[in-house]
Homo-oligomer: A and B are copies of this chain.
Amino acid sequence: MNSVQFTAETTSNGVVEREFTVGKIPGMLWSPASASDTYAVSDRAPLVLMGHGGGTHKKWPAMTGRAHLLVNGCGFHVACIDAPGHGERPRTAHDEEEIALMLQARAAGEPEGPIVVRYNAHLAERAVPEWHAALDALQQLPEIGTEGPVGYFGLNMGTAIGVPFVAADPRITAAVFGLHWPDALAETAKQITVPIEFMLQWDDEHIPRESGLALFDAFASTEKTLHANTGRHKELPRFESDSAVRFFARHLGGAVTSPA
């Protein structure tokens, strides 16, 4: 089993940000500052894994922003790894082809959905084993451990990768998903029973409303909440990040200490 190798550390607004690798996979771990110089079992807290969206990476502002909300609001540890072909990771020839096709469709004003659905499903096949391994390694850290609850938070491509990951990894006990098509995911979503918060945009220009609702409906979870907001695909309101923090506070334990 690969272990977490830390490669850099900074502190920002009371949050310790550590870059790491697990094997060849680079990641970020955000944590509350420890009372001592190094983390110990006494720093143990729930862990939230974040999957980033397509075309972005582990240090994208949305990832950093959500991580800070979760660390400062709940005292959680938060981790994100670069998806295949994203961030610091090389693209394969297949990655380049699919991205070129997606950009062509976008430039031509044609639907991107079929390409995104297909390409994200391919990326998920590569990414899911990486997430299992990253979680194995993160749980070896004294400040995380194997006993605490683990959440998953990923929209867009983070949902395409997260749904098969969460369905296959019983360590994940609550998840926030959204902004994806049901085509490649609904059957797998039917295997998920943990509490879910699901976000969709009511006026999404890429994902038809019925498609988003169908993916929400597919989850077998007895506790699931849909948050649908007016606006286009990229106009998810900022307050939904705060809502996700409260969702994880409810389900992983931890007091929300920040306002809003």
Contacts and interface: CB of A to CB of B under 8 A. Distances in A.
Interface of A is mostly: mixed
A5 interface: no
Interface of A: 202, 213, 216-217, 221-230, 237, 239, 242-243, 246, 249-250, 255-260
A246 B239 contact: yes
Nearest to A250: B239
Given A259-B256, A260-B246, A260-B250, A229 B239 contact: no
Contact of A228 (B228, B239, B258): B228
A202 B230 contact: no
A225 B224 contact: no
Contacts of A256: 259-260
A225 B229 contact: yes
Given A202-B224, A239-B250, 20 more contacts: A202-B217, A202-B226, A213-B213, A216-B228, A221-B230, A224-B230, A225-B227, A225-B228, A225-B229, A225-B237, A226-B228, A239-B246, A242-B246, A243-B243, A246-B260, A250-B260, A255-B259, A256-B259, A257-B259, A258-B259
Contacts of A237: 225
A241 to B, nearest CB: 13
A222 to B, nearest CB: 6
Given A202-B226, A226-B226, A230-B221, A249 B255 contact: no
